[in-house]
Amino acid sequence: MNNIDLSEKNIFFIEDKIEDFGLFIKSFPTLNQINIYNFDNFINVIKQKKSNLTRRNTLIILAFDFLNNEILEKIKSIFFETYEIKKPYFLCIFRKEPDSLEKENLIKGEAFYYIIPEREYFNSNFFYFNFCQFVEIVFEKIVSSDRINDYIIKSFQIIADTYIINKQKKQIEKLYFDLELMSKVDYLTNVLNKKAFFESLESEKKRTLRDLWRIKGIKNDIEKEKEEVINEKPDFTNLLENYGKFSCMMIDIDFFKKINDTYGHLVGDQVLRKIGELLTSKAIFREHDIIGRYGGEEFIVILPETSSKNALIPAERLRTGIKEIIFSDEKSNTFYLSLSIGISEFYSTDKNNEEIIGRADKALYYAKRQGRDQTIIYEDIVDKIN
């Protein structure tokens, strides 16, 4: 395992409230360039002026829960008095996803954040490499003065390109795959973000068009076999029913605005997160189905090698399944959800990806106009809406 090069960096780890994470760092000799202190000892060390300490080569790692205004002002005061640094860079440690207000404050404060997993995963090599690469990228961002928003979007790709491919490709190929995937995931719902979804949709369209060309040859071969060998082989024509096809499913949460207005946006986020869990649980869709968040309360699914008729089966599993889940707010007020779903099938004549999505969207809004809580296939109602 190669050492992580953090030389010429001043990394201070304040272990208050994250002692377990501090023990994890101490357990890896390759992380010996990270200096671990409790807060009082950290203050004493900083007061002893270090000649090589600058704002760009210094990072303070600490628990976000520990960083209150009093602690922040004390750190800023000592850094300014000793090094004429108005405010050092912070890497705040979270145990769960920060909320939108916390993220906004981090961005305003030019701070970074890192979410540590459950303690049981602390000994994972994946976690070790993830954290090391993260710290290196933080220093790159400090030098370039990029804000955390840009970091969230680009950091995992930078890790893959710069470190995994060039330095540790053989040792951590799996890490490359995982990080590449994570950079494409919507953080709230754990499904593909819109950009990643459209990339997958484009790939599926190209694959399906290739299959359509193959079907012509397969059908010709089947017809020849029927002519040459009568009643000796079963008819395999039905195997091509879904081959060279895929379907698009648009999903919308009924009355989602009312949920936000009644129970608050935090509860609304919980609803979106729960639906994301259901969509990715494999109880509804197959492993190779492509699931994304289209925007707001809308989700979108591509079902490869599936006709619109057969796409109705998982759509109805989803629609009926969501109604069995009891949601609640912080006051234990309970409520239920329903979904409206529109489905359309890919046409080989589609000029762009927006055409199949547009048809599924029309079916979705037809379902809403008909009273919501139902699944509509575009091909079944095309004569009614055109």
What are the pLDDT digits (tens) for 164-179? 556 555 555 666 666 6
Q: Are residues 225 and 367 located together in one domain of the fold?
A: yes
* Whole-number pLDDT of residue 23: 87
- Please check whether residue 5 lies inside any domain of the structure: no
**Confidence bin at 119 (pLDDT 50/70/90):** confident
* Whole-number pLDDT of residue 288: 93
* Whole-number pLDDT of residue 131: 82
* Whole-number pLDDT of residue 238: 53
* Whole-number pLDDT of residue 156: 55
Question: What range does the domain containing 120 cover?
Answer: 10-182
Tell which of 145, 161, 182 closes a domain: 182
Q: Indicate the range of 123-132, 216-225, 267-276 predicted with least confidence.
A: 216-225
**Confidence bin at 226 (pLDDT 50/70/90):** low
**Confidence bin at 187 (pLDDT 50/70/90):** confident
Tell me the average pLDDT across 200-229. 71
| pTM of the model as a whole | 0.51
Q: Are residues 231 and 152 located together in one domain of the fold?
A: no
* Whole-number pLDDT of residue 168: 55
Q: Indicate the range of 44-53, 89-98, 175-184, 225-234 predicted with least confidence.
A: 225-234
Q: Are residues 147 and 292 located together in one domain of the fold?
A: no
Q: Are residues 170 and 231 located together in one domain of the fold?
A: no
Q: Are residues 201 and 175 located together in one domain of the fold?
A: no
pLDDT averaged over every residue in the chain: 83
Residue 170: what are its φ and ψ, rounded to 5°? Answer: -70, -40
The pLDDT tens digits for 317-367 are 999 999 999 999 888 999 999 999 999 999 888 889 999 999 999 999 999
Q: Are residues 110 and 175 located together in one domain of the fold?
A: yes
Angle at 364 between CA 284 and CA 336, to 5 degrees: 60
Q: Indicate the range of 73-77, 152-156, 280-284 predicted with least confidence.
A: 152-156
Q: Are residues 177 and 201 located together in one domain of the fold?
A: no
Query: Does 1 score more than 60 pLDDT?
Result: no
* Whole-number pLDDT of residue 149: 44
* Whole-number pLDDT of residue 212: 76
Nearest of 334, 372, 350 to residue 209 by alpha carbon: 350
Higher pLDDT, 295 or 250: 250
Q: Are residues 167 and 199 located together in one domain of the fold?
A: no
- Please check whether residue 4 lies inside any domain of the structure: no
* Whole-number pLDDT of residue 178: 65
Give the C-alpha separation, 356 to 208, whole Å.
13
Higher pLDDT, 149 or 383: 383
Q: Are residues 211 and 175 located together in one domain of the fold?
A: no
- Please check whether residue 248 lies inside any domain of the structure: yes
Tell me the average pLDDT across 25-52. 84
- 174 and 273 in contact (C-beta within 8 Å)? no
**Confidence bin at 142 (pLDDT 50/70/90):** confident
Query: Does 33 score more than 90 pLDDT?
Result: no
Tell me the average pLDDT across 70-82. 93
Query: Does 285 score more than 90 pLDDT?
Result: yes
* Whole-number pLDDT of residue 263: 92
* Whole-number pLDDT of residue 298: 96
Query: Would you put residue 296 in left (φ > 0), alpha (ψ -120 to 50) or beta?
Result: left
Q: Are residues 212 and 319 located together in one domain of the fold?
A: yes
Q: Are residues 167 and 215 located together in one domain of the fold?
A: no
* Whole-number pLDDT of residue 280: 93
CB atoms within 10 A of CB 112: 24
Q: Are residues 301 and 226 located together in one domain of the fold?
A: yes
Return all residues near 146 (Cβ < 8 A) that are at least 6 apart.
none
Which CATH number covers residue 218?
Answer: 3.30.70.270
Number of domain units in the chain: 2
Tell which of 182, 204, 225 closes a domain: 182
- Please check whether residue 152 lies inside any domain of the structure: yes
Query: Does 254 score more than 90 pLDDT?
Result: yes
Tell which of 149, 182, 215 closes a domain: 182
Give the C-alpha separation, 15 to 22, whole Å.
6
Query: Does 219 score more than 90 pLDDT?
Result: no
